[in-house]
Amino acid sequence: MSAGTVRHLYVHLPFCASRCGYCDFVTLVGRREGHGGYVDSLLRELELERGLLAPQLDTVFLGGGTPTFTEPGALERLLRALPAAAEVTVEANPETVTPELAALLRRGGVTRVSLGAQSFQPELLTMLDRRCGPDAVRSAFHTLRDAGVDNISLDLIYGIPGQSASDLERDLDEALELRPEHISCYELEAKSGTRFTHEHGEELARQADAMEDYFERVVERLTTYGYRWYETANFCLGLDRSAGRDLRSRHNLAYWHARDYVGLGIGAVSTVDGHRWRNAPSLARYVDALERGLRPPREHEPLDAGVRQRERVMLGLRLDEPLPVDGLDEAIDGIALERLELLGLARTGEAAGSRTLALTNRGRFLGGGVTAELLA
């Protein structure tokens, strides 16, 4: 069998110490005794899909859950068994970061850590059910730095119930003080069905007007401090401040460029060659199938050419680089595009011999609606 071509691998580690009210990811609380068995299953799935992967991977991303909550022995075994890659990212929660863990990650080839800070205000962290305080966030950051992790991303959440504009500014200040290479900044989504929405949905709806400009404030502040707003919710230090390193998340860029990727673990999604599948979220069925040498139960979704084009547009327009649109004409509503250009929300151009399309700054703030309108 010839080697595969997929250069991006996602590994899902669902375990968490506790579940945060706002979270709607596939997560499992506790069960430390099951971690080793789950890692075995992950590695079995990896073997089953190995044929899809290129000999040399570009990126590996361990997401969760809280990957760093995984029992250390199991985590280390996993890291050692995973294929090497130019960028290996692990998501971490501040309270799990100890010098031992940092050292373990370094030994395991991790090049980048994405730290779930969310906020630096104790009340807001409590509101989000986070188990650590602001000091733990700072301390985790320094521990990682001390261990030699030179590419750290901070996750921040804004739009938390009760968060004033000055709270937001303080959070941004605190984050900037640490000078992380990368910042992801998300508006808190009241996803239906979560405990959080049940408890705070109405409050959030009431605050919607007051918080309307938070996104603008975030972009304004971070770009002023030399960060590049390279994706809707993602920022990295610009080349001029990073000694020439491109600090964008290479793994996530692969998604936004609509490249193929393989995902391992419960709930993980893969997209290869116009075919997408999602592993079922059940841990028991996952482990059980792989113990019997079978692929876990999956939902399959074929992606026809039209869907692929539309996804290319939807994902590409999240980035600050213009999207080459040659070959994507069928996915774009030409009349809508003209209208959006007139409104100063989209911009067409040409680069490297291809026509391009990008959203203007204001268009990016309205990216969802603008993209919905643009799609044919």
Positions in the binding site for other proteins (CB under 8 A): 10, 186-187, 189, 212-213, 215-216, 232-233, 252, 255-256, 261, 263, 267-269, 271, 276, 278, 301, 307, 310-311, 314-315, 318, 339-340, 343, 345, 364-373, 375
Nearer to other proteins, 41 or 279 (CB): 279
CB-count burial class (<10 Å; 0-12, 13-18, 19+) for 292: exposed
CB of 367 to other proteins, least distance (A): 5
Nearer to other proteins, 136 or 161 (CB): 161
Nearer to other proteins, 142 or 362 (CB): 362
Backbone angles phi, psi at 186, to 5 degrees: -120, 140
Nearer to other proteins, 55 or 302 (CB): 302
Kindly report the length of the chain.
376
Q: Give the residue among 182, 188, 91, 95 at the shortest CA–CA distance from 138.
A: 95
CB-facing half-sphere around the CA of 80: CA atoms within 13 A:
9
C-beta of residue 265 within 8 angstroms of C-beta of residue 254: no
CB of 72 to other proteins, least distance (A): 26
CB of 124 to other proteins, least distance (A): 17
Cβ count near 177 (within 10 Å): 11
Tokens of 149: 């992790």
> What DSSP letter does each residue of 240-289 carry, written as one string?
GGTTT---S-HHHHHHHTT--BEEESTT-EEEETTEEEEE-S-HHHHHHH
CB of 370 to other proteins, least distance (A): 7
Nearer to other proteins, 164 or 179 (CB): 164
CB of 231 to other proteins, least distance (A): 9
CB of 347 to other proteins, least distance (A): 14
Nearer to other proteins, 26 or 102 (CB): 26
